[in-house]
Amino acid sequence: MSRIGRLPIAIPAGVDVSVNGNAIIVKGKLGELTRDVDGLLDVKVEDGRIILGRKDETIEARSKHGLYRALINNMVIGVSEGFKIVQELVGVGYRAKNQGQVLDLSLGYSHHIYFQIPVEVKVETIAEKGKNPLVVLTSMDKQLVGQVAAKIRSLRKPEPYKGKGIRYQGEEIRRKAGKTAG
């Protein structure tokens, strides 16, 4: 049995879960998320918990058991608390500001980069004097907010010599020693 898949998912107060055939709908204070569950799995809602079970013991069913449990757990956490990713712009002259859902980034290129953020993700920029600019992304959909953050990071990945670029807050960059003066 899958160690992750067999764990029941506790439903917090204020979250409503319903199962329609293969679709699971989770509603909470932050919104509503829907996901189709593979036909190899059974989803039951009982006693304030969601329990996933397998219909058979095939390799495919066993591999999807823990996956769908994690995805449904992320949906429950998302509609009740939400997810937040903070990114830091490290580099001289690197700036970020947003106008609505458009993120304006100045990353040392000869031009500004305008990045359109999806409607489901809220963006906020923080620029304090003497500190690196921050981009804060919040959403109830963990996959979407992570995908947007990864796309923003790919615009200027942190480089190993000076550490300049866009990094997640708290991320450690492996640094390399440069050329040594001989």
- 77-128 pLDDT, tens digit per residue, is 999 999 999 999 999 989 999 999 999 999 999 999 999 999 999 999 999 9
State the Cα–Cα distance between residues 137 and 11, nearest whole angstrom: 25
State the Cα–Cα distance between residues 38 and 36, nearest whole angstrom: 7
CATH tag, 83-168 = 3.90.930.12
In contact, 112 and 102? CB cutoff 8 Å: no
- Residue ranges of the domains in the chain? 9-80, 83-168
Type of residue numbered 98: N
pLDDT tens per residue, range 117-157: 999 999 999 999 999 999 999 999 999 999 999 999 999 99
DSSP letter for each residue of 23-34: EEEEEETTEEEE
In contact, 38 and 44? CB cutoff 8 Å: no
Give phi and psi for 145, each to the nearest 5.
-65, -35
9-80 maps to CATH 1.20.1250.20: no
In contact, 168 and 149? CB cutoff 8 Å: yes
pTM tops 0.75: yes
